Every structure is written in C-alpha cells, then in structure tokens.
Amino acid sequence: MNRNLSDYLEKRDYEKTAQECILWIQEWFAENGPESPAVIGISGGKDSSTVAALCVKALGKDRVFGVLMPDGVQKDIDASRRVVEHLGIRSAVVDIHSSVEAVKASVAGGMENAAFNTQSLTNIPPRIRMTTLYAVSQTMNGRVSNNCNRSENYVGYSTIFGDAAGDFSPLANLTVAEVKEVGKALGLPREFVEKVPADGLSDKTDEDAFGFTYEQLDTLILTGFCEDQEVREKIEKRHAANLFKLRPMPEFHPES
C-alpha cells in the first residue's frame, strides 16, 4: 500500500474529478431545482471557493449566490469578497452578530443566567449562519450548499444543523488534500486554495483545534497509514466519538 500522500494524489486525475462533480451538480439541480440558484456561504477558503467555482461551471454565474456572514468584525472577510469578485457571482453580506447575541441573551434570561460552556458558545454562530443561509435561499427559491469535506466529516469537525446542514454536498467524499487539487484543476487562485483553514469565528486554525495536521489526517484516510501512533489514536478517537453526526437520526419503530 502507498503510504505517501503526495504519491497517492499524483495518481489521480482531479480535472476528471472536477468534471464529474460538475455533471453531478447539474443532474442534481435538474431534478431538485431546475431554475434554482445555488446559495453558498463564502468563507474565502478552499471549501466554499471550490464549491462556488464548481457551481459556476455547472449552473453559470447568474445561478450562484454567495453569502458572507461575519460575526461582527471578521479579520479575513476580504478573502470572501475576493472570491465573489473573482467568480463574478452575486452576493450579500449579512452580519450575524446581533442574532448571535440575541440568542445568548434569550437563553441566559430563560434559564436564569445559565453559564454557557465553550461548546455551546462555539456552536451558536454556525447554526445562526445556516439559518441565515436558508432565509436568504428561500427568498429566491435557492438550494443551500453543504461545504463540508471528507476530512472534517471523519473527525466530526462540524456543527449539526450548522455547517453540517445543506441541500447538496459536493465535497463530502473529498479530503482536504483532494479539495485543493480540484480547486487547482478549476483554476482557482492559490490564495483561495491554500488559505489556512479556520472557522472565521475564533483565533484558532482547524489544526490548532485538532492537535494534528490535515496532512496526517488525509494520509490516514486515503492510505490507512499514520506514522505517529499518538496522532492515529487522536484521530480515531474523534472519529468514533462523532460517528453519530454522519448517521441518519435514529428512529423508534413500534412493533405494532
């Protein structure tokens, strides 16, 4: 088995992968929204940029709408603006800060000033963002993209009913490394493809939050190999703990 990520990637034709994904998007929209635009949350990073570029190729730029959603001041918001300008798509900026603060205040008031933990505070903005995307989308009979990739999904780095939601998911079976290759095949500028992955809401990068790199994660997913046993254990522990996010919601079925 090939244990080298770069060798693995070199053996794949990502221009072909891009064309297959474009066709898939066209077929999905033909069945689920023949006249609908794709509505995409734009972060300025590889995932949203690649999804937007794929949708432009599949549907035409007039049927792609980008939504920029800073939580107050977002230091990398200019990267999002450059993406929509580069692709020539329509867009809107919706500041979610007041909505996020309103939810915090309402919950605190309703629960007698309950103390939020880190997890609850972290997950409010992604859920507000998805609410915003659907609010925008339904004003134009649109379809919301899910921009999560295989690497993030594998370790559960997503928020249920937040960035894990959406109507169609072009990148769900592509790792971070593969998304970059597809982005390059589409001709996206390096600044979009290689932007350091971060949630845009905190000062941490994804890899800071993980305690391992995407290269280590992608190597394990694609080749089954991980040189560092401690990292392997971290990855598999995250994977096992977050499998519930990838499975359909459990349902009770009465026997009679």
Per-residue pLDDT, averaged over 108-130, amounts to 89
Question: Is pLDDT of 201 > 80?
Answer: no
Q: Is the CB of residue 56 less than 8 Å from the CB of residue 91? A: no
CA-based R_g, the chain, Å: 19
| pLDDT classification of 160: cutoffs 50, 70, 90 | very high
Q: What is the Cα–Cα distance from 193 to 158, expressed in whole angstroms?
A: 20
Q: Which residue reads 């990292």 in tokens?
A: 231
Residue located via tokens 């390059």: 184
Confidence bin at 196 (pLDDT 50/70/90): confident
Return the pLDDT at 1. 45
Across-strand partners of 40? 66
| Domain spans, the chain | 5-245
Whether the predicted pLDDT of 61 surpasses 90: yes
Query: What pLDDT, on a 0 to 100 scale, did the predictor assign at position 203?
Result: 65
The CATH superfamily label for domain 5-245 reads HUPs (3.40.50.620)
Question: Per-residue DSSP letters for 84-129?
Answer: HHHHT-EEEE---HHHHHHHHHHHHHHTTSPPPPHHHHHHHHHHHH
Euclidean distance between CA atoms 223 and 227, whole angstroms: 11
CB 176 within 8 A of CB 220: no
Task: Of 154, 120, 130, give the one whose Cα is nearest residue 226.
Answer: 154
